[in-house]
Amino acid sequence: MAVSAPRAAELLRPVGPGFITLTLIGALLLTLLPWSGMGLAARPDFMAVALLYWCVREPRRVGIGIAWGLGLLMDVGHATLFGQNALAYAVLAFLGLTWRRRILMFGPGGQVLHVAPILLAQQLVCLLVALAGGAPFPGWSLFLSVLTSALLWPVTSLLFSLPQKPRPDPDAL
């Protein structure tokens, strides 16, 4: 009985800075949409997922500085305490950059298990800064967004890597 070797990881083409910018702007717009019909607590943080994806996949292009700037945009967009999301996204980027090699070793299911604690840390930083600023405790349902954001990771990985997949060789049969 022959044992097949594990399938080699597919090499992806380099991603352009325009595509990264486009995905981050799209995530910003999705996050800033008024989600009134859906429970606010269960709304995924699209910006956090997109930012974490690019910190893991393209650490030389997206890092803590970009995370801080996008966090300031989110603070203005959500009218929260200035610097709250900036600090949370900077922590998210730091953890993503630190754990990137570990995250990339696993498939999409295993990556979700590594991404969820990073998203939880980001949410905890947001909560602690809000509580320190005098906001009331919003309730435990706040952590549902961590679950929905983590479950969004495989879809994000698939969609963001599609333009990087190699084109089929027209000469191959």
Q: Does residue 144 lie in a domain region?
A: yes
pLDDT digits (tens, 9 = 90+) for 1-30: 454 444 445 677 788 899 999 999 999 999
Q: Does residue 1 lie in a domain region?
A: no
Q: How many domains does the chain have?
A: 1
Residue 54 and residue 33: Cα distance in Å, rounded?
22
Q: Does residue 35 lie in a domain region?
A: no
| pTM to 2 decimal places | 0.86
pLDDT digits (tens, 9 = 90+) for 140-158: 878 888 999 999 999 999 9
In terms of Cα–Cα distance, which of 125, 119, 126, 124 is closest to 151?
Answer: 119
Q: Does residue 90 lie in a domain region?
A: yes
Q: Does residue 4 lie in a domain region?
A: no
CA–CA distance from 6 to each of 3, 107, 127 (Å)? 9, 12, 42
* Six token digits for residue 163: 């333009």
Indicate the pLDDT class of residue 172, thresholds 50, 70 and 90: low
Query: What average pLDDT score do residues 40-47 get?
Result: 82
